[in-house]
Amino acid sequence: MAGGAEQLRRIHLAAGVAHMSEVAMGVTAPPEDSFKRRTVLLITAVGVLAFLVMLVLGAYAPDLRSGDDGGSHALSNSATGFRAIVELAELTGRNPQVLRSGDLLRDYSLLVVTPGSGTDDLGPILERRGPYATLVVLPKWAAVDDPEEPSWVRIQGLTPDFQPEGVLAPAHELQVTRVRTASEPLVAPGYAPKAMQFNAPELLQTVSGEGLTPVLTDQAGRIVLAEIDGTPLYVLADPDLLNNHGMRSATQARAALAMLDFLNETGAEAILFDVTINGLGASRSPLKLALSPPFVAVTAAIALAMALAGIQALHRFGAPRPPRRALPYGKAALLDNTAALVKRAGREGHLGSHFAAAVRGQAATLLRLPSGLTPAEVAARLDRLPTTRRFTELAKQASAARQREEMVQASRALHRWLEEIRP
C-alpha cells in the first residue's frame, strides 16, 4: 500500500509540473462560455437591426412628421388648420398634394400658401412660382396649444394688424381691416363663377392696397380676395373662408372648392398645398442621400460586403497555430534570453574583460598551449604571434569599454584577431 501511495503522489506531482509548464507556455484551460454562440449571434443581430432602423428613422423623421400640431397649415386638424379642405379636395377628385419640398414649386397647378405670421419669408417661394397661380392666405387668429388635446388650439384673439400686413411686404404693402358682419353673402364681381357663394364670417378680415384687383368683396366693397398687379398671385384676406373652422358649413365648403377651381390654371391636374413655410419641409442630409436612389445601390453593396465580412469572421480558416512556449528549448534560446537580460540590465558595456578572457581561452586551445600557464603567460605568448595587432592591446581596449558601441567595436576587433590565428 505504501508503494501505491508513493506512486500516486508521483503522478500528482507530474500532473502539477505539466500544469506549470502549460502556464509558462501561455496555455490555459478554456473558460466556460457565459453565453452560447447562438445567443451571442442573436444579440448582435438585434443590435445591428436596431442601429439600422435608428439610422433610417433619423434620416426620414422630418418627412414622417404628421404635422398635426395645431398650426395653421394643410396638415393641421385644429380650427385654424386647413386639413379639411385638403381632404375635401381629395374626396372630390381634385388631387391635392401637400408639398414638403420646393422641388414641385415649378408645377403649373395652383399653390396654396398659408404662412403663420408676417415674419415668414415668402420670397423664395414666390420667386420659384413665377407665372404660375399662387394663393396666399393671410393669418388672422392668435392661438395657443390646447393642453388637453395637442392637435387642438385655443383662440386668444386676433393677431396684431402688422402680422397679416407684413406677409407680402415690402414688395406689396397691404392694409388690413376687421369688421363685424351679419354673415351676409360675399360678392363676387366680374368674371368670378356663381358657385363662389361665401357667407361672411361674423368677424371679417379684409385687405386694401395698391395694385389689388377685387375678386371677392363684402357688401360694402371691401376686398376679401384679390389679384395682385394683374399677375396670377392672389391674396385671401380672411382664412376662415378656407380653414377647418369654415369648412363646417356645406355652403362654405362648396364655395371654397369653387374658388380653388377658379384660381387654378386651365388644365391643371392638382392643387398644391405648401407646408415648407410652416417648418414642415423635408430636410436634406448626407444620410438621407445615401438611402435615396441612385446612391442606395452603393449603400446596399457596402452593407452586403460588411455582412459577408462579419459572416467570414465567425469561422476559422486555415490550421490553428500551435501555442508557443514561454521558454523555448536549445542553447540559442538560452543565449538569446541571457543577452536580453544583460541588455535590459544595461550591463553590455561592462562585459569587455569577460569577452577578452573567453577569446584568450579559445586561442590557447587552438594553439595547444600548456594548461598550467597563467593568464599573463598565455597573453605574453599570444602577443608574439605574427598578427596585425597584439592581443593584450585588444584585450585592454575591450576591458576599458563602458558604452555599448565601444564594446561592440572591441569585441569585433578581438573576433578578427582570433580568425587570424585559426589554422
Pairing of strands 134-137, 175-180: unpaired
Split at pLDDT 50, 70, 90, the class of 82 is: very high
b/e map 391-404, b = 16+ CB within 10 Å: beebbebbbebeee
Give the pLDDT mean for 122-137: 90
Pairing of strands 175-180, 203-208: antiparallel
The pLDDT tens digits of the residues spanning 281-332 come to 655 666 666 666 777 788 888 888 888 887 777 776 677 777 877 767 778 8
Split at pLDDT 50, 70, 90, the class of 61 is: low
pTM above 0.85, yes or no: no
SS3 134: strand
Average pLDDT value over all residues in the chain = 81
Fold of 66-279: Rossmann fold (3.40.50)
Q: Which three cell numbers stand for residue 282?
A: 423635408
Please report, for the chain, the start and end positions of each structural domain, with discontinuous segments joined by +. Answer: 66-279, 331-421
Q: Compute the distance between CA of residue 203 and CA of residue 96 in angstroms, rounded to an integer.
A: 29
Number of H-type helices and E-type strands within the chain: 13, 11
What integer pLDDT is reported at residue 5 of this predicted model? 47
**One-letter identity of residue 229:** D
Closest CA to 203 of 150, 259, 140: 140
Q: Compute the distance between CA of residue 160 and CA of residue 139 in angstroms, rounded to an integer.
A: 10
SS3 242: coil
SS3 413: helix
Q: In percent, how much of the chain has pLDDT > 70?
A: 83
For 46, 200, 387, 398, the CA distances from 420, given in Å and listed in that order, are 75, 124, 7, 18
Q: Alpha helix (H) ranges present in 232-294?
A: 250-263, 286-290
275 touches 75 (CB < 8 A): yes
